[in-house]
Amino acid sequence: MFMSEAVADRRLEMLGEFAEIALSLARDLHQAALAAEEPEAKARLAETCHRMGRGLRQSLALHARLEREAKRAAREDAEAAAEAAKARRTRRKAQVKARIESLLWSEYEPDDSEAEGLIERLDAVLDAEAELDGFEAQDIDLQIAKLCWMIGYAPPVQFPPVEVPSAPPPPGETFDSSA
């Protein structure tokens, strides 16, 4: 069952408050038991103090358990997020490699040593690039173009097509979007 962080925090707060109250009451009962004149009253107060102590110990143990469980859940969430990121990175790496190899083999013969050399360089460069933060979030076409450039391969067509932005209008003039 999922418990919101606010609810979990409130429960821990209440448990801590209850433990403080139980401790205070146990101290009062202890003082009353020490001050009691009659043995029956002393025994009754000592038994009640013992019960309060048990409640206090249980409250503290429950508090510790809830904190451990919260830490474990946070650690598991972080591990799951890291695994998901690793899977996305691996998937993107495979996509990029497949597309570049497809471009290479469209130009080279299967037994061409130059193509094999390019693929070996691609593997090394792609491994390094895949370790960079945000690798899996980058535009795949730009990644392919960059990696092709990095391994010294010029695809048969400009990949990806790059549009040169128009220059901004001179100061004082407005941009005419109808042109």
pTM of the entire predicted model: 0.57
Instruction: Kindly report whether the peptide bond that precedes residue 160 is cis, defined as omega within 30 degrees of 0.
Output: yes
| pLDDT tens readout for residues 1-34 | 456 788 878 888 888 888 888 888 888 888 988 8
Mean pLDDT over each residue of the chain, to the nearest integer: 83
Nearest residue to 130 via CA among 99, 96, 89: 89
Strand ranges for the chain from DSSP E: none
| pLDDT tens readout for residues 56-106 | 888 888 888 988 988 998 999 999 999 999 999 999 999 999 999 988 888
Taking residues 103-112, report their average pLDDT.
83
